[in-house]
Structure 1
Amino acid sequence: MNIAVNQAQLEAGDLVETRRSPLGLFAAILRNPLTALPPEIFREKLVLASVAGRQSLYVCDPPLIQEALVRNAASLGKGEIARKVLGPALGDGLLTAEGAHWRWQRQSVAAGFQHEKLIGFLPAMIGAAEDTKKRWQSMTAPLDIGHEMMRTTFAIIVETMLSGSASLDVGRVERSITDYLEPTSYVFAYTMLGLPEWVPYPGRVRARAATGYLRESIGELVTARRAGASRRGDLLDMLLDATDPETGRAMQDSEIVDNLLTFITAGHETTALGLAWTLHLLAEHPSVEQQVLDEIARVTQGTALAPEHVGQLSFTKAVFQESMRLYPPAPVITRQVEKPFDLGSLSLCEGTVLYVPIQAVHRHEKLWTEPERFDPTRFLPEASKGRHRYAYLPFGAGPRICIGSAFATMEAVAILAALLPSLKLAPVSREAPEPSLKITLRPRRPLMMTASERRAA
């Protein structure tokens, strides 16, 4: 037993226990890991899951999430699942590193995400969105909105973080990320069930080839920049100039690759998915879309979108926030107990695996009114008062909260404001899309939409 709990605690409602057969769990994970999550997590505070003698604890109560991820952050590590799923591509970068190695990497890039720096990125964000708009205006075939948004956000990452590294093959990078993520359900399932790493699974060879391509192509950028005389003040330069304050050592090229891949994959993938789900939801809710259009028109006063307009689009920002409530791009946080501690009335022993199922917390029946309903007004300033800060976790929580959260939100608002006034998007199919967990929350089938010129009112 990794979790010390007695029958009295179960009867008192401190937590609910659920059991699943290994075979049933394995099948659910392979189809879609979201369907493998215990259904109780959408209504209970704590859920103890037991599979073949292995225990996991799902933490769904905001105060307990805060207690675990903030007050006891030093007692938690990323754990075996994160290492096996993310490690092959992202190495020991900011998303996967632990302890002092994580802290100095985070300090090395923090200056690149200060507000003043982010404001300077807005022209590039708007420019990339304008390029997307022109491309859509010349197309008549249905668009894969997820792919289109990834193309847009990738262009922004390259321009702002890698200063125009045009040699990168955008299409191949995107395909490689997909090839890498596709078989992660098997890695997740094998790890949960304790299967050895040598057991084969479909897509493994392709995933390894994708990892090799990604690391090689980014490594070439690092080598070229290190050999060059000029500096551009972007993320790559920050990593090249970074030194560990405790040891004085600089980052090796492989460590820089780890971090660049972290920002490229996590940075452009998650924002792109958030935007794709947002555009889908707006197409399904024309009255909300009209409110967005009215706000953009009021703020811009009929002029072209400019950087100073973006910060004034509070309702558009609320729309993106509500979309990420319903479809959080990173829907599960995984941690493993490294030092025993108490969580509420539970005593957690070393090795305990904790899950914060963000997808369930965001749709929890005790935390949200009509949790399945799309309602951006939840995120307007007055409506947000009184809500526990850990009831909404699209960018994670605690010391390891996503360093790019402000960048992503600003980027999303800018892209929406640049696209929506000129183009109307409509879904090709009326079938409700099914979200699927591939580390990130992707639609199981592409979100196909048509784009047409928006008629003036």
Structure 2
Amino acid sequence: MPDTVLPQAAQSPLPVRVPLVSEPWGLLKSLQEARRNVLSIIPEIATTQPMVSGKTGKRWHMVMDPQAIREMLLDRLDQYPKSLVTKNLLKPAIGESLFIAEGAHWRWQRRTAAPVFSHRNVSALAPIMSAAAERACDRIAAAGPRAVNLLDEMVTTTFDVIADVTFSGGDTFDRDGVHNAIDSYIAEAGKISLFDILGFPDWVPRPGRVMSGKALKEMKSVADKAIEDRAARGTSAVPDLLDLLLAGEDPKSGRTMSTAELRDNLLTFIVAGHETTALTLAWSMYLVAFDQDVQDRARAEAQSVLQGRAAGAEDVADLPYIRQIVDEALRLYPPAGIVSRTALKKDTLGGREILPGDTVMIPIYALGRSKLLWEDADAFRPERFANRKAIDRYAYLPFGDGPRICIGASFALQEAVIILATLLSRFRFKPVAGRDPEPVMILTLRPEGGVWLTAEAV
């Protein structure tokens, strides 16, 4: 792919990063590396230029210029639909749900689902998030002085949250079964190919991808049963996500979701809400262990606000430094490290010609580490988010932007702040020597090898 080598300047220790491409690769090498880590196909020059273009079987462009990104995601959204990579990987599980649908079919679903994630509804779910955080503290304390894999802990904790806010009161809900089914599906669907990223058609074989129907059937059967049981039982005392979806209707047409549409969107919220928040928290835990000064400041804030009690929705605004840590973790390790679009029309972005059929990527990982946009871009500095108005809106896109911005962003941020504040108020976390995680993106950007930390009660 790229052919420019950039010298690496001597610098103080930095948190782990993906080694980006600094030499030309052929198609075979690119395919091999993309199978191991999708982000490894990003050229190093993407962190020093506003746009990089090339041809690997077909024309592609990587866009890091905020103005050009705005044009793609906001001004000319319909000219840049999601590419085949997203649809090929996720459609078997979540159908034509909100996450995948385009055009009018997407718009009516978005209008129907938007009230589910209103500030009022999200705030009402804070006690569930706090309770899951408390259970995580109990498990960490019970583990004693030995090292704990905080990646596994955060996966368990966020799944507890999404299960409780989705299936509250579901006595027959098989938590372990659906959790295992989701993990199996992500592991299988995540066998991404460079062909997916570049938008090759479906009939081009993807080497090594085996899609098991068992995990999909288990996920869908659990969701179908939950919808049927809830429709028969009626609404919970505090409406959860399923209650709100069942009650939802498009304010323009009055259309409601069919059982299949409800199921697909429910699974979208479960898979996305569980995986991405867990990764955000795992990377946040790695970073606060990496920088003890940051951790001390965050702990002082959390203890001052919480004072030994469970966190509530009203506390989130009083935890600005904890939020800055989450924001910085999302900048350095965005769960969706690269997103891909297909150009439908001839266009110009950043002064460069875009042709119909070109693959146009936003490498969010490189955008967050652009030396043109961020001072000391690879360093962990939460305070850079102290004044969010000073940051270009399209230079920081962990949740996307424009009309298709992640519908659950406020839910995820509230959950992450509550859980992180709870953990830091109870424990001092330190890294385990020789166990640094490796950032590897298959379907999402995961800390390969886990986040191994010791926890000391404070």
What is the TM-score with the length of structure 1 in the denominator? 0.88
**Residues 148 and 453 of structure 2 are in contact (CA less than 8 Å); yes or no, is this contact kept in structure 1?**
yes
**Residues 436 and 451 of structure 2 are in contact (CA less than 8 Å); yes or no, is this contact kept in structure 1?**
no
Q: Deviations over 1:219-250 (max 9, x none)?
A: 21112222334456332123323345666543
**Residues 142 and 428 of structure 1 are in contact (CA less than 8 Å); yes or no, is this contact kept in structure 2?**
yes
Q: Which residue number in structure 2 is paired with residue 396 of structure 1?
A: 400
Q: Which residue number in structure 2 is paired with residue 314 of structure 1?
A: 320
**Residues 154 and 268 of structure 1 are in contact (CA less than 8 Å); yes or no, is this contact kept in structure 2?**
yes
Q: 1:133 aligns with which of 125, 137, 147?
A: 137
Q: Which residue number in structure 1 is paired with residue 271 of structure 2?
A: 265
Q: Does 1:32 align with 2:32?
A: no
Q: Does 1:411 align with 2:415?
A: yes
Q: Which residue number in structure 1 is paired with residue 194 of structure 2?
A: 189
**Residues 322 and 379 of structure 1 are in contact (CA less than 8 Å); yes or no, is this contact kept in structure 2?**
yes
Distance 2:172 2:156 in 1: 15
Q: Which residue number in structure 2 is paired with residue 367 of structure 1?
A: 373
Identity of aligned residues (%): 35
Distance 2:424 2:79 in 1: 45
Q: Which residue number in structure 1 is paired with residue 53 of structure 2?
A: 48
**Residues 440 and 448 of structure 2 are in contact (CA less than 8 Å); yes or no, is this contact kept in structure 1?**
yes
Unaligned runs of 5+ in 1: 1-17
Structure 1 pair 79/293, CA: closer, same or farther in 2 (3 Å)? same
**Residues 429 and 448 of structure 1 are in contact (CA less than 8 Å); yes or no, is this contact kept in structure 2?**
no
Task: Give the deviation of 1:367 after TM superposition.
Answer: 0.9
Unaligned runs of 5+ in 2: 1-22
Distance 2:190 2:117 in 1: 32
Structure 1 pair 40/300, CA: closer, same or farther in 2 (3 Å)? same
**Residues 145 and 276 of structure 1 are in contact (CA less than 8 Å); yes or no, is this contact kept in structure 2?**
yes
Distance 2:269 2:199 in 1: 30
Q: Does 1:84 align with 2:84?
A: no
**Residues 320 and 412 of structure 1 are in contact (CA less than 8 Å); yes or no, is this contact kept in structure 2?**
yes
**Residues 186 and 443 of structure 2 are in contact (CA less than 8 Å); yes or no, is this contact kept in structure 1?**
yes
Distance 1:380 1:193 in 2: 38
Structure 1 pair 407/186, CA: closer, same or farther in 2 (3 Å)? closer
Equivalence map 1:267-282=2 (5 Å) = 267-282=273-288
Q: Which residue number in structure 2 is paired with residue 378 of structure 1?
A: 384
**Residues 84 and 200 of structure 2 are in contact (CA less than 8 Å); yes or no, is this contact kept in structure 1?**
no
Q: Deviations over 1:305-339 (max 9, x none)?
A: 44432220111110111111111111112111223
Q: Does 1:437 align with 2:441?
A: yes
Task: Give the deviation of 1:344 after TM superposition.
Answer: 3.1
Q: Which amino acid aligns with 1:60?
A: M
Q: 1:335 aligns with which of 319, 333, 341?
A: 341
**Residues 157 and 264 of structure 1 are in contact (CA less than 8 Å); yes or no, is this contact kept in structure 2?**
yes
CA-based RMSD: 2.3
**Residues 182 and 203 of structure 1 are in contact (CA less than 8 Å); yes or no, is this contact kept in structure 2?**
no
Q: Which residue number in structure 1 is paired with residue 5 of structure 2?
A: none
Distance 1:198 1:339 in 2: 23
Distance 2:199 2:69 in 1: 25
What is the SS of the residue equivalent to 2:52? strand
Structure 1 pair 325/202, CA: closer, same or farther in 2 (3 Å)? same
Greater shift after overlay, 237-246 or 334-343?
237-246
What is the SS of the residue equivalent to 2:380? coil
Structure 1 pair 82/305, CA: closer, same or farther in 2 (3 Å)? closer
Task: Give the deviation of 1:374 after TM superposition.
Answer: 0.4
Equivalence map 1:140-155=2 (5 Å) = 140=144, 141-155=146-160
Distance 1:282 1:212 in 2: 39
Q: Which amino acid aligns with 2:93?
A: A
What is the SS of the residue equivalent to 1:271? helix
**Residues 344 and 356 of structure 2 are in contact (CA less than 8 Å); yes or no, is this contact kept in structure 1?**
yes
Structure 1 pair 104/424, CA: closer, same or farther in 2 (3 Å)? same
Distance 2:221 2:182 in 1: 14
Q: Which amino acid aligns with 2:108?
A: W
Distance 1:211 1:290 in 2: 43
Q: 1:156 aligns with which of 157, 161, 184?
A: 161
Task: Give the deviation of 1:301 after TM superposition.
Answer: 4.6
Paired residues in the alignment total 433
Q: Deviations over 1:350-369 (max 9, x none)?
A: 22211111000000111111
**Residues 328 and 358 of structure 1 are in contact (CA less than 8 Å); yes or no, is this contact kept in structure 2?**
yes
Task: Give the deviation of 1:275 after TM superposition.
Answer: 0.4
What is the SS of the residue equivalent to 1:77? coil
Q: Which amino acid aligns with 1:180?
A: Y
Task: Give the deviation of 1:200 after TM superposition.
Answer: 6.8
What is the SS of the residue equivalent to 2:143? coil
Q: Does 1:114 align with 2:118?
A: yes
Structure 1 pair 269/337, CA: closer, same or farther in 2 (3 Å)? same
What is the SS of the residue equivalent to 2:429? strand
Q: Which amino acid aligns with 1:61?
A: D
What is the TM-score with the length of structure 2 in the denominator? 0.88
Task: Give the deviation of 1:423 after TM superposition.
Answer: 1.9
**Residues 422 and 453 of structure 1 are in contact (CA less than 8 Å); yes or no, is this contact kept in structure 2?**
yes
Q: Which residue number in structure 1 is paired with residue 66 of structure 2?
A: 62
What is the SS of the residue equivalent to 2:456? strand
Task: Give the deviation of 1:59 after TM superposition.
Answer: 0.5
**Residues 167 and 173 of structure 2 are in contact (CA less than 8 Å); yes or no, is this contact kept in structure 1?**
no
